[in-house]
């Protein structure tokens, strides 16, 4: 991303939301003045705190508050903590002006989003959150959620890509994942089986499935965390969620199948309490692997 790209996007977006209009939101006030009103709507604020919150020059803010005074939108009173400081409070007229501008803002953004399908709205909001996180340095967070339409295909595709790149597996592995996912999609019982997707910035980055083996035993399958999302504890949380579900569903034991050499997964399984039952050499997915079964008594 270059400086020119960022500036081009800024020009585009300021045009879309009407920042360059003479009066923001068809009001007699500039975008900065409206932003001050929005800040004051949260409650009375001392002038230095208001200036710091909005990163405004003292003289510029003073002129804005002077205009608000003349328009009857605010009152300024000495602070109880320090009489040299003033507290700014919206008047009933100021609250009314704010409420009208807030409604206009909601309506304009609603009209901007209305033509977009739900999936594209979610993508737009996720992208905005990611921009905010990247520019502010906010630590990434994630959420776990149940499956939604399209997730089964994502699980198959990402397993195929990840294991080809990281383990050298051929398409027979992706075909196996497709069979597992297909069986789950067609036949799973919600009381006895479940699956979760992990998201960061609204994008899927991980998965795990808990499926029935028999009345006493569940199987943990299709654990995956994308490289860009590793280090956030997502893998351990997915396994934890699977085990909690297995206990609630009444299973007494959870098993899993994997291959040796996946250090990150092995660490997660061991920390959760799994132990290796068997380890045998096999020719699978175009590679010589050490196939392993693990189990955990609940």
Do residue 177 and residue 240 come from a single domain?
Answer: yes
- The pLDDT profile of the chain, 298 residues, written as one tens digit per residue, is 688 888 888 788 777 766 556 567 778 888 889 999 999 998 999 999 999 988 989 899 999 999 999 999 999 999 888 778 889 999 999 999 999 999 988 888 888 889 988 878 888 887 888 788 778 776 678 999 999 999 999 999 999 999 999 999 999 999 999 999 999 999 899 999 999 999 988 889 999 999 999 999 999 999 999 998 888 999 999 999 999 999 999 999 999 999 999 988 999 999 999 999 999 999 999 999 999 999 999 9
What DSSP designation does 230 have? Answer: T
Tell me which of 115, 132, 166 is where a domain ends: 115
Do residue 248 and residue 152 come from a single domain?
Answer: yes
User: Domain of 170: which CATH number?
Assistant: 3.40.630.30
Do residue 289 and residue 155 come from a single domain?
Answer: yes
Residue 288 lies in a domain: yes
Comparing CA positions, the residue from 272, 150, 164 lying closest to residue 210 is 272
What DSSP designation does 57 have? Answer: -
Instruction: Residue 31: give the domain boundaries.
Output: 3-115
Do residue 150 and residue 247 come from a single domain?
Answer: yes
Do residue 153 and residue 101 come from a single domain?
Answer: no
HEC string of the chain?
A: CCHHHHHHHHHHHHHHCCCCCCCHHHCCCCHHHHHHHHHHCCCCEEHHHHHHHHCCCHHHHHHHHHHHHHCCCEEEEECCCCCCCEEEEECHHHHHHHHHHHHHHHHHHHHHHCCCCHHHHHHHHHHHHHHHHHHHCCCCCCEEEECCCCHHHHHHHHHHHHHHHHHCCCHHHHHHHHHHHHHHHHHCCCCCCEEEEEEECCEEEEEEEEEECCCCEEEEEEEEECHHHCCCCHHHHHHHHHHHHHHHCCCCEEEEEEECCCHHHHHHHHHHCCEEEEEEEEEECCEEEEEEEEEEEC
Residue 284 lies in a domain: yes
Structural domain count of the chain: 2
Do residue 291 and residue 168 come from a single domain?
Answer: yes
């Amino acid at each position: 991303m270059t400086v020119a790209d960022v500036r081009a996007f800024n020009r585009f977006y300021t045009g879309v939301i009407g920042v360059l209009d003479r009066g923001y939101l068809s009001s007699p006030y500039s975008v900065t003045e409206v932003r001050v009103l929005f800040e004051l709507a949260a409650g009375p604020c001392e002038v230095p705190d208001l200036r710091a919150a909005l990163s405004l020059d003292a003289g510029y803010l003073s002129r804005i508050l002077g205009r608000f005074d003349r328009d009857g939108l605010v009152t300024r009173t000495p602070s109880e903590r320090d009489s040299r400081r003033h507290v700014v409070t919206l008047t009933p007229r100021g609250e009314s002006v704010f409420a009208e501008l807030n409604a206009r803002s909601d309506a304009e953004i609603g009209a901007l989003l209305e033509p977009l399908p739900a999936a594209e709205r979610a993508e737009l909001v996720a992208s905005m959150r990611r921009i905010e996180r990247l520019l502010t340095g906010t630590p990434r967070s994630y959420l776990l959620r149940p499956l939604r339409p399209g997730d089964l295909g994502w699980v198959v595709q990402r397993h195929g890509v990840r294991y080809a790149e990281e383990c050298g597996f051929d398409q027979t592995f992706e075909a196996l994942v497709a069979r597992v996912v297909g069986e789950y999609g067609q036949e799973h019982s919600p009381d006895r089986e479940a699956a979760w997707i992990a998201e960061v910035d609204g994008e899927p980055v991980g998965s795990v499935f808990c499926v029935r083996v028999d009345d006493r035993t569940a199987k943990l399958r299709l654990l995956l965390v994308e490289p860009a999302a590793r280090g956030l504890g997502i893998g351990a949380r997915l396994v934890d969620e699977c085990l909690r579900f297995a206990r609630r569903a009444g299973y007494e034991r959870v098993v899993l199948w994997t291959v040796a050499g996946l250090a990150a997964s092995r660490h997660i399984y061991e920390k959760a309490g799994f132990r290796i039952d068997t380890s045998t050499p096999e020719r699978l997915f175009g590679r010589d692997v050490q196939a392993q079964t693990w189990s955990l008594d609940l």
